[in-house]
Structure 1
Amino acid sequence: MSSAPIIPQDVPPYLIQPLIPEISIGDISCAQALGSEVYVGCTDGELLRYALQADNDPGKLESYSLLSRQSLPNGKPIDELVLIPYLSRVLILSDRQIHFYTLPSLDPVPNIKPIRHVETFAVDHQHLMRPAPLTHDPSVKLQSVDLCVIKRSAIALYSLSEERLAYSREIPFQPGAQLARRTGQYLCVADGQYYNIVDLQTAQMFPLLPINQAADDPTPVKPFITVVSEIEFLMLSWTGASTLGMFITGEGDPVRGTLEWLSHPLSVCLDYPHITTLLPNGTIEIHSVETQSIIQVISAPVESDAGGDGRIGLVASAGGYLVPSSEQSEKMRKTKLRFDRK
């Protein structure tokens, strides 16, 4: 539980609803969704594509069905999926390599080889939020999407277009990068000890906040970085007694108030104006970005164990996706009418 005041809303912003009841092909390592499709990466290197399809029985809800399955060439676990709807591309991180595939068909992009020796990477969040074109004239060239690839001792800058991947330059960086997020000219990178801000225009870097403030606690703490706005990040820091969530600009200035959790979250997602976190006991807490208060708590299932009955993570899907709803079918259900003959 969090120590923040709980200010519930009349209509809770979220509810839990199963999308895919069971995936028996492999163990899930990551997932993403867009529109009417869900993409699942597995620990055995398989990539699964599910699509929302109507049932033959009009009385039943639409459901997600397996449309295709394929394996990456290396057969290693898929660590991350990043969807770029604007370019109809998906970036797949596996075995320290970034692979480039098309959306929604999941075909390898011709003439773009994987980027190797990757520690972590970050696509410019502002570019990720570009909407997919409703219609695309092939003669009209789309803007490129910028990304940073953090390698062992450097940050490599690239621009991705529909046809090619263009290398720009490198910025020296210390080893040990674990996580990175980018918005515009600012890159936030977590190494083994600190969150660091890198100004990509000036190539200047400075440490900002320790990931673990408890000097006597050797337990590894998972870093979390979330882009909140064009110039703002949310970073989580463990104090030894609780975890603090700090809102900090790309220039290193704290803004807003502070979030707090009595245990270190397993996942953190932004769906503005809400911050959603999964805690180790399986509880899901939703905070307001604006007031920092808790507005909803989703309890762990009663039959769950300490692991939260399989709740291993939360994923934010920036482009949005479709969820089957019973409301429409209930409103459209058959009703007998009696007509009076005259």
Structure 2
Amino acid sequence: MTSAPTNPLDVPPYQVQPLIAKVLENDDLDGLDGLPGRSPEVRCAQALGSEIYVGSTDGQLLRFALQANGPGEPESYTLISRQQLPSRKPVEEIVIVQSISIVFVVCDRQVYFFRLPSLDPLPYKPIRNVAAFAVDHQHILRPAPPIPDAHVEPIEFCIVKRTNIALYSFLDRPVFIREIPLQGGAFLARRSGRRLVIADREMYSVLNLEEFSLTPVLPISQAPPDSGGPPARPIITVIAENEFLILSWNGASTMGLFITGDADPVRGTLEWPAHPMAVLIPAPPLPSPSEMEADPSSVLAQERRKLAVSAGGFLVPSREQSEKLRLTKVKLLGRSAKPGGRTEVELPTADMEIGEREPAQAQAQDGEPESEVEEDIQEVDIPPPSDADSVAPYDV
């Protein structure tokens, strides 16, 4: 799906392309979630480079890799491997940390550790009783080391439990640092630097991991209790190292508030007529719901259950590029070709006297018939570049 809006200031040109047509196409996957007559579904996904990792509702962890097809066909993502988590419960979250080549997987209130990109399980027991999981966002943004033996810093993450928050680091293995008491717990958390923003059933709060101080900020919902409708889901988005965006529903619209790591409001506020499913920063140029309704055949007109950002970027196979970049015959001059009709002035070399020329160069100056020149022209097939383009870091 491609679009070029009439007002580029509103929505710039964009292209939406399916990455995997049928993620759970294999019949062996049916019914693994233990519910009769119900097939597993995609619950979450993440991508990096030429790999896509998908978590399903039955505890499957699928790895897809971009592979070449036949001549003239674009590359496509193909299922490479599959991991079955023990509990067969939904995979809630996948977090990729490329600087240490680790994939964190949250399933059934446990955090599992896998090697990137093979998804081989690491020999460490999963961390249990997890209510919320938050890797330092600044550590997620770290690039992969340029060489295998390069020095790598450990990454840090938080495990929110019922009565405390456990701090960990990870380089070669998970290392427990300390616990911070927390009354009331939380079920959503996002960390950036030494600040952790959490959401419990009612309130957003900011936790200072250096001073161990907790500051309430904003209710998740400001709507009257009798307003009806499902409760608003909390959304926390990391904007920068010391800035977050939190959303609050008031019964008629949703307000987005930017706050610092010290819980101070910054910038202006945002407003949505309905409560968003997800907020991505930087935002991809997706059309509005009214634009999608005008084209029911559009890919985006289908139900979007979740959006995810890929911090490291990933590759998208392009059929348009495959059609435009085909083998093309180009005429090249051979080594013995003599360009006709040209006058060349030769400079003397150290071994030649002034006024002297080499025989081959003298013949080239006199010029040759055009037909003789064409005999030395060779045709060479130049292959096109790869069909995969590196695009903005968005996953579907």
Q: The TM-score by the shorter chain falls in which range?
A: 0.7 to 0.9
1:117 aligns with 2:129: yes
Give the counterpart of 2:167 among 145, 148, 157. Answer: 157
Equivalent residues of 1:284, 1:298 under 8 A apart: yes
Corresponding residue number in structure 1 for 2:109: 96
AA paired with 2:58?
D
Corresponding residue number in structure 2 for 1:321: 314
Corresponding residue number in structure 1 for 2:193: 184
Cα offset for 1:108?
1.2
Equivalent residues of 2:11, 2:285 under 8 A apart: no
CA distance in 2, matches of 1:84, 1:300: 37
Cα offset for 1:215?
2.4
Corresponding residue number in structure 1 for 2:281: 270
Distance 1:90 1:300, change over 3 A: farther
More strand by share: 1
Equivalent residues of 1:53, 1:62 under 8 A apart: yes
SS of 1:299's partner is: helix
Q: CA RMSD in A?
A: 2.6
Q: Greater Rg, structure 1 or structure 2?
A: 2
Consecutive unaligned residues in structure 2, runs of 5 or more: 1-5, 30-39, 333-369, 375-396
AA paired with 1:155?
I
Distance 1:338 1:164, change over 3 A: closer
Corresponding residue number in structure 1 for 2:55: 41
Cα offset for 1:299?
2.4
Equivalent residues of 1:176, 1:191 under 8 A apart: yes
Cα offset for 1:328?
3.5
Cα offset for 1:194?
0.7
1:63 aligns with 2:56: no
Cα offset for 1:327?
4.6
Q: Share of identical aligned residues, percent?
A: 51
CA distance in 2, matches of 1:149, 1:337: 60
Corresponding residue number in structure 2 for 1:131: 143
CA distance in 2, matches of 1:65, 1:284: 31
AA paired with 1:329?
S
Distance 1:331 1:95, change over 3 A: same
1:72 aligns with 2:55: no
Corresponding residue number in structure 2 for 1:199: 208
CA distance in 2, matches of 1:335, 1:89: 43
**CA deviation digits over 1:271-326, x for unaligned, max 9?**
2xx3778xxxxx658xxxxxxxxxxx862573379x95232111101011001123
**CA deviation digits over 1:45-77, x for unaligned, max 9?**
0111000111122x1111111111120122211
Corresponding residue number in structure 1 for 2:347: none
Equivalent residues of 2:12, 2:285 under 8 A apart: no
Of stretches 80-89 and 217-226 in structure 1, the one that deviates more from structure 2 is 217-226
More helix by share: 2
Corresponding residue number in structure 2 for 1:86: 99
Query: What TM-score, normalized to structure 2?
Result: 0.73
Query: What TM-score, normalized to structure 1?
Result: 0.84
